């Protein structure tokens, strides 16, 4: 397949004019080719777009290319005169992003949106013009990935941009897929950025975008993004991991040979057919698992065996039994992601066995039908079911529903930290007494489960029964635990809960409840203070409230509610003498 590195070196024909403040249409005399009848009048493809068309024809043969060529012409003309940090024409970036998405097999609307994804942000082209030229579907996708204006939003711009992407992804997951491809290409070209920016950009990528790729199950993107960010954050460790893994993989085939020699007849004896392959692990995963100690890295540490079974779920379980009959299994190391799929719809059986040479060997078993989703996640569903899956499949992504449930309550200052916590790696699956499966991040507690079941359950919880035994709310949960949350009317969160709440929903709702309680207490204190002061002036506060005088005064002072005015008095924001003067008319 064509790679982005190749695309990044492409130079569009023609000398770019100097950029100016005028509209690109006025500057170039350019009229966007119209849709419908004018499609056939779209110009022939420029040489620069040839790599994209080659990928499109290889992955999606027979697809109409007219709209894609029109999108490229518009993007190239709008970005003409703009340069990347590398000195390459800017169009090489949206073109490269589109090639990534074409390699994934994304639909035409997504590819056109990828070509145009920076036009509204970086050129005078407006969203309204784009909508008129390319239609509502493309406009929604471009709007979803367009950053908010930094001058207008200030320090809140990054957090609110991510909130915007999350909300757009809730309506159409293709927005997030475009954003991931955009970030992947920026990571591939990160070497052209100043050194002080590389580490910060890579860190943000690993904390936010890589987890999003994993949550959508797009492991093809996730693995490369992880390794590129790793290289930028710690070049020496990345180089060491690369050398160690390459060295180990050179001996992979002879190292795995004896195990395969036992596995193949064991599977044949059970009537199971399929294909084994040696799957290298990505560098960052090896580095993290070994905690940087790569001395003596063996082929079994650098790669795993993948078995694609010809058959369904039942055949996968039969294959697991055959693997365990041929090679001694390690107790407690079987993970069944078929019966309990991961949060990103991933399905496979994982097991660890002892090879004939005494090495610990990881084996992954899945059916051929499961394989596309295991590699491409939501993209596989979109390709199979059409663009409607980009909306429909989000119902199966519990993590997205959970994120949407708390994001509106998180202020900008706390949103990114909460998002990082919510996207943290790890996957714990616990059961409620009714049999409902709830996915939580590693380290989650019974309190986190309570809030995962709903804010009301969380606020009223007082303890939990884990596998029938009474435990504290701070008890850390393990996969397979059956947990019943105990509640009590009139209960409420305490400041202490923030010490062991792990998930973003729990932390956001606890802070919100505590802030609401503090505001209520401040309002009550302010009202008492004003009541006592007005009593000395023979003014009845209760009557003033009943007649609407208190609300009128509150709004004159800029407070939407009377309680807000009382709280401002209690906290010293309002002066008591000034407030008395308004109530007494003095």
Active site residues: 121-122
How many Cβ atoms sit within 10 Å of the Cβ of residue 84?
A: 16
What is the spatial distance between Cα 294 and Cα 433, in angstroms, rounded to a whole number?
Answer: 44
Burial 391-427 (b: 16+ CB within 10 A, else e): eebbeebebbebbebbbebbebeebbebbebbbbeeb
Residue 248: CB atoms within 10 Å = 22
Pairing between β-strand 328-329 and β-strand 349-354 as defined by DSSP bridges: antiparallel
Tokens of 475: 């008890």
Element (H, E) at 151: helix 150-153
- The 3-state DSSP class for residue 212 equals helix
* Bridge partner residues of 278 (DSSP): 305
Q: Is residue 280 within a helix (H) or strand (E), and if so which, with residue range?
A: strand 274-280
Q: Residue 498, class by beta-carbon neighbours within 10 Å (0-12 exposed, 13-18 middle, 19+ buried)?
A: middle
Which letter, b or e, does each residue of 504-534 get, where b requires 16 or more Cβ atoms within 10 Å of its Cβ? bbbbbbbbbbbeeeebeebbeebbeebeebb
Query: Could you give the CA distance from residue 117 to residue 410 in angstroms, rounded to a whole number?
Result: 28
Q: Beta-carbon neighbour count of residue 253 at 10 Å? A: 11
Question: How many CA atoms lie less than 13 Å away from 61 in the CB half-sphere?
Answer: 1
Query: What SS3 state is found at 474?
Result: coil
Q: What angle do CA 430, 435, 439 make, to 5 degrees?
A: 30
Interior angle at CA 12, CA 11 and CA 17, nearest 5: 110
What long-range pairs does 16-25 form, CB within 8 A, spacing at least 24? 16/80, 16/81, 16/89, 17/80, 17/81, 18/81, 19/81, 19/82, 22/124, 23/124, 24/77, 24/78, 24/80, 24/123, 24/124, 24/125
Sign of CA dihedral 274, 280, 284, 287: positive
Residues 246 and 227: their CA atoms lie apart, in Å, by 14
**284 contact partners, CB below 8 Å, separation of at least 6:** 226, 227, 229, 230, 241
Closest CA to 170 of 441, 395, 505: 395
């Amino acid at each position: 397949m064509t790679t982005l590195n190749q695309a990044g070196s492409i130079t569009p024909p023609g000398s770019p004019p100097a950029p100016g403040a005028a509209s690109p249409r006025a500057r170039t005399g350019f009229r966007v080719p119209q849709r419908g009848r004018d499609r056939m009048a779209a110009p022939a493809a420029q040489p620069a777009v040839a790599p994209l068309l080659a990928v499109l024809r290889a992955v999606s043969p027979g697809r109409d290319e007219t709209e894609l060529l029109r999108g490229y012409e518009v993007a190239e003309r709008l970005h003409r005169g703009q340069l990347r940090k590398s000195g390459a024409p800017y169009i090489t970036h949206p073109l490269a992003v589109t090639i990534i998405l074409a390699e994934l097999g994304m639909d035409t609307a997504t590819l056109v949106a990828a070509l145009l994804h920076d036009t509204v942000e970086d050129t005078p082209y407006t969203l309204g013009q784009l909508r008129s030229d390319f239609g509502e579907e493309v406009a929604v996708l471009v709007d979803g990935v367009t950053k908010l204006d930094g001058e207008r939003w200030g320090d809140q711009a990054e957090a609110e941009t991510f909130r915007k992407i999350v909300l757009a992804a809730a309506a159409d997951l293709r927005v997030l897929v475009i954003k991931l491809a955009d970030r992947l290409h920026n990571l591939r070209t990160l070497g052209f950025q100043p050194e002080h920016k590389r580490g910060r950009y890579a860190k943000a990528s690993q904390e936010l975008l890589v987890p999003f790729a994993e949550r959508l199950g797009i492991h093809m993107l996730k693995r490369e993004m992880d390794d590129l960010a790793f290289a930028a954050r710690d070049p020496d460790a990345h180089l060491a991991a690369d050398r160690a893994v390459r060295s180990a993989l050179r001996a992979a085939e002879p190292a795995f040979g004896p195990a395969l020699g036992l596995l193949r007849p064991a599977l044949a004896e059970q009537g199971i057919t399929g294909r084994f392959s040696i799957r290298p692990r990505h560098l960052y995963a090896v580095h993290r698992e070994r905690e940087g100690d790569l001395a003596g890295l063996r082929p079994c540490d650098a790669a795993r065996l993948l078995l694609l079974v010809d058959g369904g779920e039942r055949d996968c379980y039969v294959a697991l039994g055959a693997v365990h009959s041929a090679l001694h299994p390690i107790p407690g190391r079987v993970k069944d992601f078929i019966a309990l799929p991961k949060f990103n719809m991933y399905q496979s059986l994982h097991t660890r066995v002892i090879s004939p040479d005494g090495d610990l060997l990881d084996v992954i078993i899945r059916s051929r039908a499961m394989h596309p989703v295991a590699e491409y996640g939501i993209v596989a569903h979109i390709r199979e079911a059409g663009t409607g899956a980009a909306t429909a499949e989000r119902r199966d992504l519990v993590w997205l529903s959970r994120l949407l449930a708390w994001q509106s309550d998180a202020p900008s200052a706390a949103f990114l930290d909460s998002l990082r916590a919510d996207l943290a790696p790890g996957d714990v699956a616990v059961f409620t007494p009714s049999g409902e499966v709830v996915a939580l991040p590693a380290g989650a507690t019974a309190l986190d489960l309570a809030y995962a079941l709903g804010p009301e359950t969380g606020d009223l919880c007082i303890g939990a029964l884990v596998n029938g035994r009474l435990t504290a709310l701070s008890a850390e949960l393990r996969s397979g635990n059956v947990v019943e949350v105990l509640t009590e009317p009139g209960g409420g969160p305490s400041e202490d809960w923030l010490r062991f709440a792990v998930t973003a929903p729990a932390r956001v709702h606890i802070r919100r409840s505590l802030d609401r309680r503090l505001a209520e207490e401040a309002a009550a204190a302010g009202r008492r203070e004003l009541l006592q002061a007005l009593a000395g002036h023979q003014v009845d506060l209760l009557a003033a409230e009943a007649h609407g005088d208190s609300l009128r005064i509150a709004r004159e002072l800029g407070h939407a509610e009377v309680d807000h005015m009382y709280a401002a008095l209690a906290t010293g924001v309002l002066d008591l003498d000034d407030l008395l003067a308004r109530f007494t008319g003095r």
